[in-house]
Amino acid sequence: MTLTARQSLFLILFLCSFCIDAQKVSSPDGRMQVILNLPDKNKPDGVSYKVLYQSGKTLSEVVRESKLGITREDQQFVGNLLFVGQSEPVLVKDAYDMICGKRRHCENTAVEKKFHFKNTNSQTLDIIFRVYNNGVAFRYVFPDASDSKLSITGEATTYVLPKKADRWMQPYDPSYERFFPYSTGESATDKTQQYGFPVLYKLQDQPVWALISEADISEGNCAARLTSTSNADEYQITYPSAAQSEQPWHSQWHTVVIGKLSDIVASTLITDVSAPSRVKDTQWIKPGAVSWIYWANNRGSKDYQIVKDYIDLAVEMNWPYVLIDWEWDVMVNGGDIIDAVNYAKSKSIKPMIWYNSGTSWMEPTPNDRLQTAEKRAKEFSWLNKIGVYGIKVDFFAGDQQEMMQYYIAILEDAAKYHLMVNFHGATVPRGWARTYPNLMSTEAVYGAEWYNNTAELTDKAAVHNTTLPFTRNVVGSMDYTPVTFSDSQHPHITSYGHELALAVVFESGLQHFADRPSAYRSLPEPAKEFLKKVPVSWDDTQLIDGYPGEKVIIARKKADKWYIGGLNGKDQAQTLTVIFDFLGKGTYSFELIKDGKDDKSFSSEIIKVKKGTVLKIECLPRGGFTGAIR
């Protein structure tokens, strides 16, 4: 966004006055403030912070006073810090484009300030804060150059939430495939429960929301999580293991997106603070829809004839890609992987194939083909030779530093061979989609694949699907494998209208449409045509209405067209209201597809709308609607 004259004036006044208010860092518009409690210059002590946000005329404490600090194997920087100085505040302002994601053009605008400390052993630590109009980010830095290795063992960093804050938190799982149950924290009995990022919460008495996560993981970091403490509202940053590095060293950015719920959904803070692209030539990176074989059969791609059918489906549905999943190395029934790839290319469909990362479960094959640079070079050269455009890499084993290094190595080597990447059984996105734009999507979600595994998703899908747009999908592309109408191992009870809307509500640079070919072929023409044309990467994203677990209406723009998806998360019928405030001047045609007379049918119509039009859409229990505005 461009700074207004008022914001620029405020910033000038803010910078000029900063010398007399050294403990405060404010956002460019002045509504967000970080207050630091610094130790006396002559007395070692701890450092703490809190975050204030002005919503309307109310100034709310979004993060109550919380600890800062970090520990190394050889030194601690927690309660033994001396404040020795600070930098001048600087305006961080840059713009960048994303190939896939919720918004093509992004702007990164914040006020940054560095605070310098020494511990009682005269070892240096910097803490950097960036304060945005809709969020806060901070990181630790050991700035001294040294040949000796550091072992960073953990952090004292905490987040103390407002009392009785409503919260949606996912119990930690290495693959981040759990639900985000609602709580207020008061019912927690396990004081050592760990939670995976992101964490969403809302102030009880204000329409103010916050989402905690982290970004810009490098080879020198592990990926953190949160652990509850004896205080029901306090959560501490926890490392899975120590991180080894030379100096200078910096932690990942700890991030808190803050504002209205629409600010949470629209935020690009995770990529804003992440390193710029390391891939110079990106013309070969093309987001797109993918036909996917695994879901319907609960098997891989061993059967050549089934693989051919999914390639034919991609042709019929105008989807550019097909994913050939596990067991392709033992393909039978009339052809092998080379035959499958050649058949896809003969139909102008671009094939992608699956790999076991080799770091965990060793059963699904092929495995152990990517674990070293030499193996990757051999495999990726072969993929280039036969004509494969991307890889799906599955079954990663945790968030420790060596896994972060493995992810990055795969992304860097894949970029050299012009291969797009989809991570499965993986850590949640932490900004790599900006640094390595060939990362198209990541699973890290309890997705439709789970209809194959247990009966739990059947009853929870509607609530879960209306929670993910405010939690997991905020921080990056999400390979949920959506839009399934038939049943896999366990049944659906979400409506057909709900399932179709997932194509818009869920964002993923590679959108894997997971159902069997017969299900897509039997769709009525309006639904089928919608799936043939719906984009997977977006120029803009706006939340129209929603509340976690109850409802969501999202509008996404591609070129001059808007697409809308709405979901009912309740077990009873609900009216969803669309206010077309996001439109420009003129009259538009809204091609609406919604629930029909029952949950396995559609109703479609074309409605004339213009800016300010209010449209009420009746949805069945666990129902939904979608449509395009032209």
Give all domains of the chain, ordered by start, each with its CATH number: 5-91+105-263 (2.70.98.10), 288-524 (3.20.20.70), 547-629 (2.60.40.1180)
Question: Which has the minimum average pLDDT: 145-159, 166-180, 455-469?
Answer: 145-159
* For helices 456-465 and 496-505, angle between their N-to-C axes, nearest 10 degrees: 50
Looking at residue 363, its pLDDT comes to 81
How far, in Å, CA of 126 to CA of 120, rounded? 15
pLDDT above 80: residue 302: yes
Biggest distance spanned by C-alpha atoms of the chain: 79
Looking at residue 147, its pLDDT comes to 79
Average confidence score pLDDT of the chain: 94
Region for 425 from its dihedrals, namely left if φ exceeds 0, alpha if ψ lies in -120 to 50, beta otherwise: left
Task: List Cα–Cα distances, 99 to 283, 435, 513, in angstroms.
Answer: 10, 11, 20
Length of the chain: 630
- Look up residue 269 and give its two tokens: 């803070």
List the one residue out of 350, 624, 378, 371 whose CA is nearest residue 502.
Answer: 624
Instruction: Name residue 126's amino acid.
Output: D
Residues 175-205 pLDDT 10s = 999 999 999 977 655 668 999 999 999 999 8
Looking at residue 9, its pLDDT comes to 43
**Quick check: 626 and 563 in contact, CB under 8 A?**
yes
Give burial (CB, 10 Å; 0-12/13-18/19+) of 281: exposed
pLDDT above 60: residue 19: no
Question: Which has the minimum average pLDDT: 105-114, 189-198, 234-243, 512-521?
Answer: 189-198
- Look up residue 236 and give its two tokens: 């501490």
- The helix (run of H) or strand (run of E) holding residue 107 is strand 105-119
Q: Please provide residue 255's backbone torsions phi and psi, each rounded to the nearest 5 degrees.
A: -125, 145
pLDDT above 50: residue 13: no
**Quick check: 603 and 594 in contact, CB under 8 A?**
yes
- Secondary structure string (H, E, C) spanning 311-343: HHHHHHHCCCEEEECCCHHHCECCCCHHHHHHH
- Look up residue 431 and give its two tokens: 């900004």
pLDDT above 80: residue 162: yes
Percent of the chain residues past pLDDT 90, beyond the cut: 91
pLDDT above 50: residue 25: yes
- DSSP tally for the chain: helices H, then strands E: 13, 35
How far, in Å, CA of 46 to CA of 40, rounded? 10
- Terminal CA-CA length for the chain: 26
Looking at residue 360, its pLDDT comes to 66
pLDDT above 70: residue 379: yes
Looking at residue 470, its pLDDT comes to 98
- The helix (run of H) or strand (run of E) holding residue 215 is strand 209-215
**Any residues with CB less than 8 A from the CB of 217 and at least 6 apart, and which?**
223, 252, 404, 430, 431, 432
Looking at residue 361, its pLDDT comes to 67
How far, in Å, CA of 69 to CA of 77, rounded? 6
How far, in Å, CA of 340 to CA of 312, rounded? 11
Looking at residue 185, its pLDDT comes to 79
How far, in Å, CA of 204 to CA of 183, rounded? 12
Neighbours of 606 (CB within 10 A): 11
How far, in Å, CA of 78 to CA of 46, rounded? 6
Region for 269 from its dihedrals, namely left if φ exceeds 0, alpha if ψ lies in -120 to 50, beta otherwise: alpha
Looking at residue 106, its pLDDT comes to 98
Q: Please provide residue 375's backbone torsions phi and psi, each rounded to the nearest 5 degrees.
A: -65, -40
List the one residue out of 298, 563, 607, 277 whose CA is nearest residue 437.
Answer: 277
What sign for the dihedral angle of Cα 504, 508, 509, 514?
negative
Residues 87-143 pLDDT 10s = 999 999 999 999 999 999 999 999 999 999 999 999 999 999 999 999 999 999 999
